[in-house]
């Protein structure tokens, strides 16, 4: 995981603990959002809303459609952040 990814990971971890009452230890990169962390589709929408200040723009359901794990989420956010930097 590079520095940007680590930063994203820590940010997501903090948000999930705050939003979903999860244990920080449970939020590992391999964790499955639905099966392990009990994060359903409505939770995902609320998480996207909370991520907006960090990511710089509103994330759409399309951005997050196929995300299943924490690592996958980190990867997608990294893509969005790098995209916005090149604009």
Q: Which is nearer to other proteins, 46 or 84 (CB)?
A: 46
Q: Is 32 helix (H, G, I), strand (E, B) or coil?
A: strand
What is the residue whose two structure tokens read 């990511």? 55
Rounded to whole angstroms, how far apart are CA atoms 42 and 48?
A: 10
Measured between its terminal Cα atoms, the distance across the chain in Å is 24
**Contacts (CB under 8 A) with other proteins, residues 1-60:** 18-21, 40, 42-43, 45-47
- 31-51 as b/e: b if 16+ CB within 10 A: bebeeebebeeebbeebbeeb
Residue 84 is a binding residue for other proteins (CB under 8 A): no
Q: How far is the CB of 32 from other proteins (least distance, A)?
A: 17
Q: Which is nearer to other proteins, 19 or 80 (CB)?
A: 19
Q: Which is nearer to other proteins, 40 or 83 (CB)?
A: 40
Q: How far is the CB of 82 from other proteins (least distance, A)?
A: 26
Which residues form the interface with other proteins (CB under 8 A)?
Answer: 18-21, 40, 42-43, 45-47, 61
């Amino acid at each position: 995981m590079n520095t940007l990814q680590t930063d994203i990971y820590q940010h997501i971890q903090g948000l999930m603990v705050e939003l979903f009452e999860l244990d920080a230890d449970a939020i590992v990169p391999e964790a499955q959002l639905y099966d392990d962390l009990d994060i359903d589709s409505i939770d995902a929408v609320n998480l996207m809303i909370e991520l907006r200040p960090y990511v710089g723009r509103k994330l759409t359901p399309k951005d997050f459609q196929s995300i299943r794990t924490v690592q996958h989420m980190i990867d997608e956010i990294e893509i969005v952040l790098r995209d916005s930097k090149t604009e």
